[in-house]
């Protein structure tokens, strides 16, 4: 189990995330930080918590190296850890 904190971004962080098209982002520090903005979106929250589960399974450094490598090789949408998180959240397929 990885401890995590859910943050609701406001102001410039929320604007930056909106401009990037990110509904949420998970940052694997000592504890995982799930950052979201705007109205609560339960599917997106489940998606980010699936990333927290991945961090628990792989360890934070291995998860970060793996997912960044997958973004480079497959792109964000097709990265296997993203596909897994979307499936866990019931977001597609
Ligand atoms: Zn994701």
**Which residues lie near ion ligand 1 (Cβ < 5 Å)?**
82, 85
pLDDT attached to residue 66: 98
Q: From the CA atom positions of the chain, what is the Rg in Å? A: 13
Cα 85 to middle of ligand 1, angstroms: 6
pLDDT attached to residue 1: 84
* Residue with token string 């897994």: 84
Cα 48 to middle of ligand 1, angstroms: 6
pLDDT in tens, the chain (93 residues): 899 999 999 999 999 999 999 999 999 999 999 999 998 899 999 999 999 999 999 999 999 999 999 999 999 999 999 999 999 999 975
Decide if 33 contacts 27 (C-beta within 8 A): yes
Cα–Cα distance measured from residue 15 to residue 9, given in angstroms and rounded to the nearest whole number = 9
Decide if 43 contacts 89 (C-beta within 8 A): yes
Cα 11 to middle of ligand 1, angstroms: 22
Minimal CA–CA distance to 70: which of 60, 61, 80?
80
């Amino acid at each position: 189990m990885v401890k995590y904190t859910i943050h609701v971004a406001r102001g410039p962080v929320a604007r930056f995330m909106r401009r990037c098209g990110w509904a949420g982002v998970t940052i694997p520090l000592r504890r995982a930080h799930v950052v979201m903005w705007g109205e609560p979106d339960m599917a997106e929250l489940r998606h980010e918590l699936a990333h927290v589960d991945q961090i628990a399974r792989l360890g934070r450094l291995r998860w970060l190296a793996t997912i960044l490598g997958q973004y480079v090789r497959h792109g964000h949408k097709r990265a296997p850890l993203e596909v897994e998180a979307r499936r866990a959240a019931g977001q597609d397929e």
